[in-house]
Structure 1
Amino acid sequence: MRVFKILVLIGCVCIFAVAAIAVVISVDVAASQDGDAIAEKRVVATADAFTSAFGYQTEVTDAESIAGERFRSTSTEVQPVRWSGSTEAGDEAIIDIRIRSDVEAKRSQEVFGPWNSAGTVERCYRFTLTLYAEVQREEIDCDELPQSVPAPTATPKPALPADTAEMMEAVLLQSDAQSASDELRDAFPEVDVTVEVTSTADGELVAAVGIAAVRDCVVMVRDADGVVFRASFDRISLEPGELGCSVRLYTAPFL
């Protein structure tokens, strides 16, 4: 009888031991992650983020500038490797990029803590940008792309001088509509800068100076008492298809 009790006890201990081993294995598997799967998620997430950021293209610029300015990531390695064209009307900007993610093997110091294996994933994508259209993205074969190319250089964007408002005020204080227009054009001779001047029935002199490509615009007004002030306006009016940088931002704004 005593021998039978001992055998039963040993059997129970063995069953519990097997169950414990099964639990350990189950927990360990559940807490583990494949490094390649993690890297894949990071690469795809990066590509998705670029697609979302570009969205609907309204800016006129060249492909090299886009490649040099817009493809950056803190979670993956991104390399623009080929680019051509621009987003000018009738053209399209095409940029090919390589996205790579390297995941190190890690194991938690805690018992049954999470861990992952090492992994590496590399994917290549082509982004096509056309003016007034959604960006298009497609995955391409990385083997068809060069491994090493010089980094793209963005073309400096035009910008109004920091003291544009002061320059305009000085002109408006001592000019009529015609002379103000001539003097402002002399002050801002760049071809991509627009200048508009008008007078109103209330005796106001209104001037607008801007750069359409970068949605930059300053509107200044000299009222009937000779006081010059900077007019405010809804910047959505600078978007393509809207008023643009015009004296109408003050004299006839959209409500």
Structure 2
Amino acid sequence: MAVTVACLVLTGCSENRDGDSLARDIAATEAALLDDDLGYRNRVRDAEYIAATEISKEVKGSGSTVRREPLGWSGRTAGSEQATIDVRFGVTVAEQPGVSFGDLGNSAGQATRCYRYLLELSRYTSYHEIDCPAIATPAVPTASPSPGLPDDGRERLAAALRTATPDTLVGTVRAAFPEKHITVDTVTHEGALVAAVGVPAERDCILLVRTPSGAIESPGYDRIWLEPGEMGCKTSLYVSPPR
């Protein structure tokens, strides 16, 4: 009886869980969390861009360290195409003794598990485990800038509207935004010059109006109207917005 009491008071009679097994479970949990983070894809992106911007990470928890790194990538999320990204999860857990009766401690351990993530436009990400390839130091992905509006886009459009006439409006605005990925929509409405320039794939849009008095105004609109299937970046955001 005295030995039993001493065991309960001093050590808790705890048992240690195998550290390697715990590390494997942590890797599986982190893989599921990454699947949630990648989530629903609503932008056209190369797999390398996603690998460079959304994958690499090191997480330090209570007694564990998780490192995830992309191993390979291909494709893109566009139309019916598919992006594929292979990710390696390396987990190290430190030894932790149990501190109370019934509390499981664990031995030191480590594990490496690999998963393949499949991403498609307008769909949720899916994933499954794969055998880890023998890659000691994987290549590092790079992220090319995604197409967008220029930083001085609002200033460009305002300057174009100030010099334009109803007859030269579309040409003046297009000359200010010659980039092929930028859409231009213009109209004259009740004496005002209206212009909308945007990048539909990125839901980027600048809408400005030159009033009959010559003032440049930026009318507000609900950004949900820029989503696929909605109005998009058009002058109708101002001229005939949804009711």
Residues 64 and 154, structure 1, Cα contact 8 Å, conserved in 2: yes
In the TM superposition, residue 26 of structure 1 has moved relative to its aligned partner by 6.9
Which residues of 2 match residues 226-237 of structure 1 at below 5 A?
Answer: 226-237=214-225
Residues 65 and 152, structure 1, Cα contact 8 Å, conserved in 2: yes
Q: Which structure has the highest helix share of the two? A: 1
User: Which residue, 127, 132, 142 being the options, matches 1:153?
Assistant: 142
In structure 2, the residue corresponding to 1:29 is in which secondary structure? Answer: coil
Task: Give CA-to-partner distance per residue, 1:147-171, whole Å, 9 cap, x none.
Answer: 3321111121123222211211111
In structure 2, the residue corresponding to 1:173 is in which secondary structure? Answer: helix
What is the aligned length?
A: 236
Task: Supply the distance in 1 between the matched residues of 2:18 and 2:26 (Cα, whole angstroms).
Answer: 13
Q: Tell whether 2:59 aligns with 1:71.
A: no
Residues 19 and 108, structure 2, Cα contact 8 Å, conserved in 1: yes
Q: TM-score, normalised by structure 2?
A: 0.86
Task: Supply the distance in 1 between the matched residues of 2:222 and 2:68 (Cα, whole angstroms).
Answer: 36
Match of 1:21 in 2: 6
Match of 1:182 in 2: 171
In the TM superposition, residue 59 of structure 1 has moved relative to its aligned partner by 0.8
From the superposition, tell whether residues 228 and 153 of structure 1 become closer, same or farther in structure 2 (CA, over 3 Å): same
Calculate the aligned-residue CA RMSD, in Å.
2.5
In structure 2, the residue corresponding to 1:94 is in which secondary structure? Answer: strand
Residues 56 and 70, structure 2, Cα contact 8 Å, conserved in 1: no
**Which shows bigger deviation, 146-155 or 36-45?**
36-45
Q: Which runs of 4+ in 1 moved over 4 A?
A: 110-115
Amino acid at match of 1:156: P
In the TM superposition, residue 45 of structure 1 has moved relative to its aligned partner by 3.0
Residues 165 and 230, structure 1, Cα contact 8 Å, conserved in 2: no
Could you list the runs of 5+ residues in structure 2 that have no partner in the other structure? 60-65
**Which shows bigger deviation, 72-81 or 186-195?**
72-81
Amino acid at match of 2:83: A
From the superposition, tell whether residues 147 and 252 of structure 1 become closer, same or farther in structure 2 (CA, over 3 Å): farther
Match of 2:188 in 1: 199
Task: Supply the distance in 1 between the matched residues of 2:13 and 2:209 (Cα, whole angstroms).
Answer: 72
Task: Supply the distance in 2 between the matched residues of 1:69 and 1:61 (Cα, whole angstroms).
Answer: 11
Structure having the higher Rg? 1
Match of 1:12 in 2: none
Residues 81 and 145, structure 1, Cα contact 8 Å, conserved in 2: no
Amino acid at match of 2:57: S
User: Which residue, 51, 55, 58 being the options, matches 2:35?
Assistant: 51
From the superposition, tell whether residues 250 and 34 of structure 1 become closer, same or farther in structure 2 (CA, over 3 Å): farther
Match of 2:154 in 1: 165
**Which shows bigger deviation, 49-58 or 62-71?**
49-58
In the TM superposition, residue 245 of structure 1 has moved relative to its aligned partner by 1.5
Match of 2:235 in 1: 247
From the superposition, tell whether residues 203 and 93 of structure 1 become closer, same or farther in structure 2 (CA, over 3 Å): same
In the TM superposition, residue 228 of structure 1 has moved relative to its aligned partner by 0.8
From the superposition, tell whether residues 97 and 186 of structure 1 become closer, same or farther in structure 2 (CA, over 3 Å): same
In the TM superposition, residue 62 of structure 1 has moved relative to its aligned partner by 0.9
Task: Give CA-to-partner distance per residue, 1:188-230, whole Å, 9 cap, x none.
Answer: 1111111111122x22211111112222111101123221111
Q: Kindly, what percent of the aligned residue pairs are identical?
A: 36
Amino acid at match of 1:98: R
Residues 14 and 104, structure 2, Cα contact 8 Å, conserved in 1: no
In structure 1, the residue corresponding to 2:42 is in which secondary structure? Answer: coil
Give the structure, 1 or 2, with the largest relative contact order (CA under 8 Å, sep 6 or more).
2
